[in-house]
Structure 1
């Protein structure tokens, strides 16, 4: 009896999976080989059997309707961040460090928004990727790259605010446009380096039973245990939890410092209010957009180990569904970042105030130059009294 593996890729098993579960089944196919004197030729193949929970995830309304609909709303961030990028690039002079950080933040959000339609199409098509393996890698990496680039840039903004408020004189030599540009380039390199493994590894898998090609949602079990587990745990700790600690400590120090300013100092209340609003906005972004995604991602990959039972894989599947939803919510940072622009940059506030004043002046001029409504004929001048 001779065993051979079928070369057809559709018959080969891809173990599961980031979260979804495949069952491996050996199928013995016996054929009579007439050229070998009627000797039986048995071929060993592997068949994909998809479980019910996986079928529900890939075809259910959460991944095919809810998630892409929410992403479609986030598309409105594209014109907002495009206008913000133009304002930071050409309207704001001179470039202060805070404006440089925010210009890079707007650029990152804009690139993410431009790539978002690929993800929307993928989910609306029933989790079927039709744009090729390379674009799947790029879009997958872009999600993580945008998230960690935003986290790192917000951490830079918080440190810049800390230096400007707590050490206003001693930090003058550090808070320069040149150093801000160096910091931004470093953050881009770190976030790109963190997403490189996703670009280099295979992200698309064809599921024969559903006749779809998934993007990132299905992975080989060996990759999950040995490669992605180490990769994502390191990524979350280095590019999320550490910047989160820096951001929280920086804004807590800023608020504490402003609270100690004597009450008679001009602008004390305004500066403290702005710092509190900025801190709350950033913390809401971390809690709503970044923290659930990274905590679930960390917990999800820590569940994988060799010899997982069926109930353990079902728990992992459920955690991945929650992760997909929170990853979707994480895209809200593209809409919340303009609040960071406004409260974090005095130049941005001045430009917006100037723009609104110009609009008011134009509106008042258009009203003053408009012809008066036609009314009754004017009364003639009073007749002179008779002499």
Structure 2
């Protein structure tokens, strides 16, 4: 199911065994995997770290919205992405070394665990954000009474606990030895593949398909409601021009959220889950070496896409939240004014 278990094929027959031929054809492709991960993580680390730390700082500045339900969810999403970005230097060091893990065993376990924590908390936080947006548009009174910051925070804590519990099996195996070198992100035994296949379908059902269906239902109803409201207000004349402009801005932000969350699921999450499932069946059912290697390469590419969700989410904060954009401009203006003030002070000291 995970990155560590996508490196050593096992042919699952009546007597689960690892053949030398399958291992050879599989590990001959390590160079492609290492180059792809190195290139991707080099790009992701600075962007993901800076964007998500910056997003948390901006959320902290939103004094009037800091305790809104949507802000609580976005803060948790930024925490998830920011925490994942901190594991990327360890992954980079591993791939720069050609697949040699020079760090403690617990760090290997933590990196694998952190990837899945980030992946599925991101999916569930985006789903929660979508439900909140639909509730705010379709049933604003219920949204005001149900979606309180305290209740939303409790739901977010529940998501962390739920994902952490189901990701706990990936903490069971750490460093594995292959070709005389300590490896991370690899299976410790052939029996791991059968367990991973089961975990894959549990994660596929509860971590992707159910949230994706929830988002589709919410957004289809949201778009229908926005379209109906737009038709009603367009025929009401220009008497409520100010209110109409405000509603138009709200509809635009809702459409931005719909578009960006849907695009994130289709580009980052859907390909990875589909290809991962096919790859696991290729390994466990003993498909041909050519098919297995081709799917392995596809898994590498789609895993890089899945990891890139940590830099896509800050775009969602910016384009769907007007207050977030306003606070970013305020923060930039404050930094610029402080810089100008310090330069003026330095000039004065130099002239005296």
Which protein has the bigger strand share? 1
Change (3 A) 1:362 1:253: farther
Number of paired residues?
A: 323
For residues 319 and 177 of structure 2, the distance between their equivalents in structure 1, rounded to whole angstroms, comes to 47
- Larger relative contact order (C-alpha < 8 A, sep ≥ 6)? 2
Shift of 1:274: 2.0
In the alignment, what sits opposite 1:5?
none
Query: What pairs up with 1:1-387 in 2 under 5 angstroms?
Result: 18-21=6-9, 51-58=23-30, 60=31, 62-76=32-46, 77-93=48-64, 94-200=66-172, 202-208=173-179, 211-225=180-194, 227-261=195-229, 262-263=233-234, 264=237, 265-305=244-284, 308-309=285-286, 311-312=287-288, 314-355=290-331
User: What is the TM-score of this pair, normalised by structure 2?
Assistant: 0.82
Aligned partners of 1:52, 1:217: CA distance in 2, in Å?
A: 15
- Whether contact under 8 Å (2:73, 2:128) holds in the other structure is yes
RMSD: 2.9
Change (3 A) 1:81 1:246: same
Tell me the SS of whatever aligns to 1:95: coil
Other structure's SS at 1:173 match? helix
State the TM-score, normalizing by the size of structure 1.
0.75
> Alignment partner of 2:155: what SS?
helix
| Closer, same or farther: CA 47–133 of 1 in aligned 2, 3 Å | farther
Q: Which piece of structure 1 moves more, 232-241 or 244-253?
A: 244-253
The structure with more helix, counted as a fraction of residues: 2
Counterparts of 1:267 and 1:285, CA distance in 2: 27
Contact persistence 1:18–1:221 (CA under 8 A): no
Measured in 1, the distance between the counterparts of 2:133 and 2:68 equals 12
With over 3 angstroms needed to count, the CA separation of the structure-2 counterparts of 1:357 and 1:129, relative to structure 1, is: closer
Change (3 A) 1:145 1:362: closer
Following TM superposition, by how much is the alpha carbon of 1:212 offset from its aligned partner in structure 2, in angstroms?
2.7
Cα distance in structure 2, aligned partners of 1:19 and 1:363: 50
Query: Which 10-residue stretch deviates more, 330-339 or 261-270?
Result: 261-270
8 A Cα contact 2:5 2:185, kept in partner? no
Q: Structure 2 CA distance, aligned partners of 1:17 and 1:150?
A: 22
1:183 CA drift (Å): 1.1
Distance (whole Å) between structure 1 residues aligned to residue 245 and residue 122 of structure 2:
34
1:286-337: CA deviation from partner (whole Å, max 9, x where unpaired): 11111111111222223344xx54x535523432231122111212111111
